[in-house]
Amino acid sequence: MTEIFNENSLLSIEEWKENLSVSFELTQLDYLAVVAYSEEETKLIYHLETTEFTPDFEDQDFQNLFSKEEKLFLVAPDLKKISNLHDVELLISLPIFTSTKYDYFLLGIHFNTDLNSKNSLIFRALQNEATYIQREYQHYRKKNTEDSFHELLLKSSFRELGLIRKALDSSTIVAITNSSGKITYANHQLCQISGYQANELIGQDHRLLSSGNHSKEFIKDLWDTIKSGKVWKGLLNNKTKNGELYWVDTTIVPFSDENKKITQYVAIRHDITQKIELSKNLEREKEKLNEALTELKEAHEHLDRTSRFVDMGTLAAEISHDFNNTLSVITMGIEVCLINELPHDVLETLIKMKSTALNASALTKKLMSLGKKINTSPKPTILSEMINDGLQLLTPVFHSLGIQITIDLAPNLPIVLLNSSALSDVIRNLTMNSLHSIQEAILLKEVPKAGHKFSINCSIENQQIVIKITDTGRGIPKRIQSKIYDPFFTTKERSEQKGTGLGMSMVFSTINSHSGKIHLDSFNMEDWHNQDNISKETGTSFTIQIPAKLPQEKNEKLQSLLPKQTTKPDELIFVVDDEKHFLRFIKTMINSFGYNNVQYFNNGEELLTEYHQRVDDQSELPKLIITDIQMPKLNGFDLLQQIFQADTTQPATIVMTGKADDLNLNRFKDLGVSNYLMKPFSVSQLRAMMDKALL
C-alpha cells in the first residue's frame, strides 16, 4: 500500500487501515477491500473479512467489473456468471482514484439476504463518499496543491464518519465512553430507551444502566475483551431510570491512538426487548401446549380404555346368562359323576374340569364388572387399615426373600369414604405384581447394589388421596406400557397359577369407579439403549390419585375409628420381636398413638438384660411389655416367666403370635397372660389391646 502514500502524508498506512476497519465494522459488510486494476493485472492491495472468502482475481468476468472505471451496485442475479460469487447477495465497486499505473477501487461484498434500510443508507453513503474522494483527487491533480492525497482522504474520512453517525443515530442506540468507562457521549436513542437525559448520563459509567442480572464472570469477560483491543458482541440486559428492564443486542468497538493505547469505546446497540419477550412468551405457550397435549392424550386414552371396558362388560352381560347356564350343566354333570365310584385318574380329571368351569364363571363376573361403577356404597375407611389389609398376606413373603419393605403413611390421615374392599384388592394386585417382578429379577441375578426394595406411601395432597407403590423389579418395557390395562393382556402365562390378564384391568376399573387416576413410571433393561444414563436402575412405580371424600358428619362413631392420642404418653413400654421389618412397622403404629417412651428390642435376651439392669439400678420399670412368642435365644414364654419371677410389680403384657394353638395359649394363661394379638393385626386392634392392658 506504500505506492498510494507519499512520504509527506499526514495519514500513515496504519491509520488508513484503522479508518478502513472502522468503516468495515459500522457497515457490517462481510468483505471490504482496496483493489488495483490495470489491463495487465488485477491485484488485491488490502482487505478485511468476516468469513474465509477471497474473490477469484484471475477470473476474466471478475476483472471486467473494474474495466469501465464506474460505480457498480450489483445484486445476486447480476453475479451468477462470476466465479465463486454465486452466494453473494450484494457487490459494490467504487472507483477511488487513478495513478500512472493502476486504477484503484473500493470493493464491498455482503452475503446477508436480510438487507435493511439502515444498511442501504450506509452503502449509499459509502458510494457518495467514493465519488467525493474521486472528485477531490482530480481537483488535487489539476491544482497541483501541496496537500497530499491522503490529507484529502483524512478530510473525507471525517465526512464519511459524520454520515455514518447520522445514519446510526437515526435508528441505533450509541454511546461513547473514555478508557475508564465514563460515558462521554449518549445519543438520542439511548436517552429515549433509558429514560435519562444526556446530562444525567455524561460522566457516569454503565453501571447506572446495569440490571444486575449478569454474573461477575460475564462482565469480566466483556471488559477483558475490549481492553485487549478486540470487538465484543453479545446481549445485555439493562435497566431504565424507572426500573424497567430491557434487552439490547450490543457491539462494543475499542479505539486506540498512535501508541496503540485505547482512548475510547463506542457501543452500538439495538433494542430487542420485544423479540426477547416474544421468545419467552413463545416458550411459555409451547410448554402450556405440550402440557395440554399430554393431558388431552391421557384423557383420550382414559376415555378409550373406559369405553372398551364398558363395551366388554356389556357384551359379557349379554352372553353371561346362556354361558352360565351351560357351565351349570357341565358342573352339575361333573357332580353327578363324582358320586359314582370311578378310577382315580378319571376322578382327578373331573375335579380339574370342575375347577376350570368355576374359574370360567368367575372370569365372566369379572368381565361384567369392567366399566361399571362399583355398586357397593362407599363406607368410612381408615386408610392405614385399608393398606394393611392389602399387604398382610404378602408382607411375610417379602421378608422371606430378603426384600426391604417400607410402609410410609402420613400422620393424621383422615377418615374417607371409599370402597375399602375393592381398593384393598387394588393394593394387593399391584403388590403381587411387584413381588413377581422382583422374583424374576432375582432369578435373572438383576440385583441393585442396595438390594431389592418395595415401598408404599400414602398421603393427602390437594384434597386427593395419593398412594404410591414402588419396586426395584425388572420394570415394564416402554413398548407395552400403553397396553397393561387392556383386558386379557398379560406378560405371564395364562393359567390358573399365573393369571388371566384381568388383574390390571380390574385395577383400572376400580380406580376409575372412584373418579381417580393411575400413573405408571417404569424402566426396563431393554430401554437402556434409548437412555443416556445407563446407570439408572430398573423398577416400577404406580401412583394412584383418588378424590378424598370426607364424611359429611364428623360424629363420635366415625372419630372413634381413628387412633386416639394417648392420655399417658410417658408410660414406659418394652416391645420385642426378632423380625426387624415388623418391628419397624409396629414402631410406626405406636408412635401414631402418641407414646414417646418406648424401647424396642430384637430378641428376648436384650429385653431381659435391660429389665434386670433397671431392677438393680432401681430405675423405672416398664408398665407394658409387648412380645412375640417364637424368637431365637429366648422365646416369649421363657422371657415373661423370668420377669414374673422377679421380686417386682408385674407389668401388663401383650403376646403377639402368627400361629395360634391351644397348648401355647394355655401355657401363657397359666402365667396370667390374657392379652393376645394374632398376626397380622390392624392399627385399631393394637390400640384397643394397649388401652385394655394399660387400664
Residue with cell 357384551: 315
259 with 311, same domain: the answer is no
Residue 391 CB neighbours (<10 A): 20
250 and 267 in contact (C-beta within 8 Å)?
Answer: yes
Q: What's the number of domains the chain is made of?
A: 5
140 with 266, same domain: the answer is no
Is the model's pLDDT at 75 over the cut of 60? yes
pLDDT at 608: 94
Nearest-angstrom CA–CA distance, 349 and 334 = 10
CATH number of the domain at 33, please: 3.30.450.190
Choice between 461 and 164, residue whose per-residue pLDDT is larger: 461
pTM of the model: 0.40
* Domain assignment of residue 516, given as a range: 379-558
Segment among 238-242, 367-371, 652-656 with least mean pLDDT: 367-371
Contact residues for 15 (Cβ-Cβ < 8 A; gap 6+)? 258
Q: What value does the mean pLDDT of the chain take?
A: 76
Q: What is the mean pLDDT of residues 33-50?
A: 85
Sign of the Cα torsion 131, 132, 133, 139 reads positive
Choice between 226 and 327, residue whose per-residue pLDDT is larger: 226
CATH number of the domain at 256, please: 3.30.450.20
Nearest-angstrom CA–CA distance, 586 and 593 = 11
528 with 462, same domain: the answer is yes
207 with 326, same domain: the answer is no
Nearest-angstrom CA–CA distance, 93 and 325 = 100
67 with 131, same domain: the answer is yes
Tell which of 312, 343, 369 closes a domain: 369
Which helix (H) or strand (E) is 540 found in, with range?
strand 539-547
pLDDT at 5: 46
Q: What is the mean pLDDT of residues 77-92?
A: 80
300 with 267, same domain: the answer is no
Choice between 336 and 566, residue whose per-residue pLDDT is larger: 566
User: How confident is the model over 262-300, as pLDDT tens digits?
Assistant: 889 989 898 998 888 888 888 888 887 777 777 667 666
CATH number of the domain at 669, please: 3.40.50.2300
Is the model's pLDDT at 660 over the cut of 90? no
Tell which of 163, 194, 214 closes a domain: 163
pLDDT at 15: 60
609 with 676, same domain: the answer is yes
Residues 166-200: b if buried by 16+ CB within 10 A, e if exposed: ebbeeebbbbebeeeeebebbbebbbebbebeeee
Of the pLDDT bands very low, low, confident and very high (cuts 50, 70, 90), residue 81 is confident
151 with 180, same domain: the answer is no
pLDDT at 424: 84
Strand 598-601 to 573-576 pairing: parallel
Is the model's pLDDT at 573 over the cut of 90? yes
Residue 172 — left, alpha, or beta (φ > 0 → left; ψ -120 to 50 → alpha)? Answer: beta
Residue with cell 442480572: 213
Residues 88-115: b if buried by 16+ CB within 10 A, e if exposed: bbbbbbbbbbeeeebbbbbbbbbeeeee
Phi and psi at residue 652, to the nearest 5°: -70, 150
Q: State how far the alpha carbon of 487 is from the alpha carbons of 6, 318, 321, 482, 655, in Å.
A: 96, 18, 21, 12, 45
If DSSP codes are grouped into helix, strand and coil, which group holds residue 409?
A: strand
Q: Tell me the H-state helices in 340-403.
A: 344-369, 383-391, 395-400
409 and 383 in contact (C-beta within 8 Å)?
Answer: yes
User: How confident is the model over 587-600, as pLDDT tens digits?
Assistant: 877 877 888 899 99
Is the model's pLDDT at 423 over the cut of 60? yes
User: How confident is the model over 610-619, as pLDDT tens digits?
Assistant: 999 999 998 9
Q: State how far the alpha carbon of 350 is from the alpha carbons of 283, 339, 498, 666, in Å.
A: 68, 11, 22, 44
214 with 359, same domain: the answer is no
Is 645 inside any structural domain?
yes
Choice between 465 and 501, residue whose per-residue pLDDT is larger: 465
Most confident of 128-132, 193-197, 373-377, 578-582: 193-197
Is 261 inside any structural domain?
yes
pLDDT at 120: 56
Q: How far is CA 640 from the centre of its chain?
A: 56
End-to-end CA distance of the chain: 111
Tell which of 163, 187, 204 closes a domain: 163
538 with 400, same domain: the answer is yes
Is 374 inside any structural domain?
no
The number of residues making up the chain comes to 695
